[in-house]
Structure 1
Amino acid sequence: MPLKKTAAQMVADARSRIEEIETSDAIAMVNDPQVQIVDLRDPRERERTGFIPGSFHCPRGMLEFWVDPDSPYFKDVFAQDKKFVFHCASGWRSAISVATLQDMGFEAAHLKEGFGSWEKAGGPVEKVAPNSLRPPSFRPF
């Protein structure tokens, strides 16, 4: 069965209506107290490659629930009066995510080319201690 819309089309549609931040501009924002960078990547990605210092980790699957103040999963970080800049590895998940947030009425931007471009540009990266992101009960298969 053919798809009505491909993932690439969804990303392109999102990018046409959201704010995209270039890597160099995002690097300049990293220490700005009025900016909150939000990492949408999977915990294993953060463990493998590290993360942007000061970023808040919000796994993509929880985003809408953590942002919605009426949700039992709401996180206070999203009630702050700041500029929110979301990122993933390449900018695809974050583009779709920010478009979804915009539909919800939550203003945000995203790192246009993702964490990969951040690393290549020499942006600061903090490393994670192995297994520190996994719950104590985690046992790999």
Structure 2
Amino acid sequence: MKRITVKEVEQKLDNGEKLNIIDVREVGEVATGKIPLAINIPLGLIEFKKQDLDKNENYIIVCRSGGRSAQAVAFLESYGYNVTNMDGGMMAWEGELEF
């Protein structure tokens, strides 16, 4: 499983890199703030939404602490998606939030 730190994600965003970030938390959790431009696909819906993702793109998967995102990464990897788990999740995020 590929992994990336919160600081690495923040640095990439600060450098203006276009990132595909998927937040797999529940809608109520995302309402408390998410990484700007991240799209919300709750973990329970990943199976049904995977066909909307491009296998040629890289996706950074985020949750509250890194556990659910690791599950999503393992699942998506098994279908050939290029995905990376953000270690520490939103509990470790110190960057800008979008509400």
TM norm structure 1: 0.64
Aligned-residue identity in percent: 28
Q: Secondary structure at the match of 1:79?
A: coil
Partner of 1:37: 21
Which residue identity lines up with residue 27 of structure 2 in the other structure? P
Which residue identity lines up with residue 88 of structure 1 in the other structure? C
Matched, 1:54 2:37: yes
Deviations 1:64-93 (A, max 9, x none): 22113xxxxxx2xx1274320000000000
Task: Note the 1:106-121 alignment, pairs <5 A.
Answer: 106-118=81-93
Count of aligned residue pairs for this structure pair: 97
Aligned-residue RMSD, C-alpha: 1.4
Partner of 1:10: none
Gaps of 5+ in 1: 1-17, 69-74, 128-141
**Hey, what's the Cα distance between the residues in 2 that align with 1:83 and 1:107?**
5
Q: Secondary structure at the match of 1:108?
A: strand
Partner of 2:49: 66
Which residue identity lines up with residue 59 of structure 2 in the other structure? F
Partner of 2:69: 94
**Hey, what's the Cα distance between the residues in 1 that align with 2:96 and 2:77?**
28
Question: Of the two structures, which has the highest relative contact order with CA contacts closer than 8 Å and spacing of 6 or more?
Answer: 2
Q: CA deviation at 1:108?
A: 0.3
Partner of 1:84: 59
Partner of 2:98: 126
**Hey, what's the Cα distance between the residues in 2 that align with 1:105 and 1:54?**
24
Gaps of 5+ in 2: none
TM norm structure 2: 0.89
Q: CA deviation at 1:101?
A: 0.9
Q: Secondary structure at the match of 2:64?
A: coil
Q: Is the radius of gyration larger for structure 1 or structure 2?
A: 1
Higher strand proportion (structure 1 or 2)? 2
